[in-house]
């Protein structure tokens, strides 16, 4: 037998400080996960992985491709999620890029240059990065690209964001076969599945009540996780 869990009305809201600390923590965690993936030479999914593939095969700089690829997704986000979400996501992308570069610097308090087994890096890096992405989602931000599509479809159709993102990431990983070996491809696929399954099971409609101050909510009830 199951019982309904009442949701407070109005739903509890994150303060500005909550969101600032949440985005800061989330970006640090994501950057560490990406660092571990890179240390294993694992191909990442999403727009970052797609941009890297285009950077390898064309003379156009990485930064130009990254902005160009993410632009349509941010247009979608403006229409569906609002400017607040877009600005927080842009901030999150910038912070992750800065933190990831910082981790690789030699010196006191930084990780430095390391090499990891691709399969170990794929699993540990994906677990860490997925936790950071969930934190960002719950504070009204994302890492852009497929994250945005996943969140929009989850809001509109109820599809779990992790599963939607997995489809896009899988396409990027398969495309990377042109520049990767089979072991790296298999490790990358394992990482994609690990990350998106964790997101799918931990970020879905009804699993988190608190919202950012800019979002409107309606009364609802939650069913306990089964």
CA separation for the pair 195, 182 (Å, rounded): 20
Q: What is the pLDDT of residues 52-73, one digit of tens each?
A: 677 767 888 766 787 788 788 8
Given the DSSP bridges, would you call strands 13-14 and 211-212 parallel, antiparallel or unpaired?
A: parallel
Q: What is the pLDDT of residues 87-140, one digit of tens each?
A: 998 888 888 877 877 776 776 556 667 788 999 999 999 999 899 989 998 888
CA distances from 73 to 46, 49, 82, 144 (A): 12, 15, 12, 7
> What's the predicted TM-score (pTM) here?
0.75
- Count how many residues are written for the chain: 226
Structure tokens at 80: 């569906």
Structure tokens at 52: 């890297």
Q: What is the pLDDT of residues 9-67, one digit of tens each?
A: 556 677 788 888 999 999 999 888 888 888 888 877 777 778 767 776 788 876 678 77
The DSSP secondary-structure symbol of 58 reads S
- pLDDT score, position 3: 43
Cis-peptide into 81, omega within 30 deg: no
């Amino acid at each position: 037998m199951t019982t309904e869990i009442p949701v407070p009305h109005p739903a509890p809201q994150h303060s500005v400080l909550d969101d600032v600390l949440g985005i800061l923590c989330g970006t640090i965690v994501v950057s560490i996960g990406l660092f571990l993936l890179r240390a294993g030479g694992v191909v990442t999914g999403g727009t970052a992985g797609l941009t890297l593939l285009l950077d390898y095969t064309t003379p156009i700089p990485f930064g130009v491709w990254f902005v160009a690829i993410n632009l349509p997704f941010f247009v979608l986000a403006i229409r569906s999620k609002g400017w607040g979400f877009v600005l927080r996501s842009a901030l999150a992308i910038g912070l992750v890029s800065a933190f990831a570069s910082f981790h690789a610097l030699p010196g006191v308090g930084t990780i430095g240059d390391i090499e990891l087994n691709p399969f170990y890096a794929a699993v540990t890096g994906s677990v860490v990065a997925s936790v950071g992405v969930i934190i960002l989602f719950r504070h009204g931000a994302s890492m852009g690209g497929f994250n945005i599509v996943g969140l929009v479809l989850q809001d509109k159709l109820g599809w779990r964001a992790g599963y939607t993102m997995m489809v896009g990431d899988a396409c990027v990983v398969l495309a990377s076969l042109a520049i990767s070996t089979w072991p790296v491809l298999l490790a990358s696929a394992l990482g994609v599945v690990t990350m998106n399954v964790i997101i799918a099971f931990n970020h879905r409609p009804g699993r988190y009540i608190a919202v950012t101050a800019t979002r409107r909510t309606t009364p609802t009830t939650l069913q306990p996780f089964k």
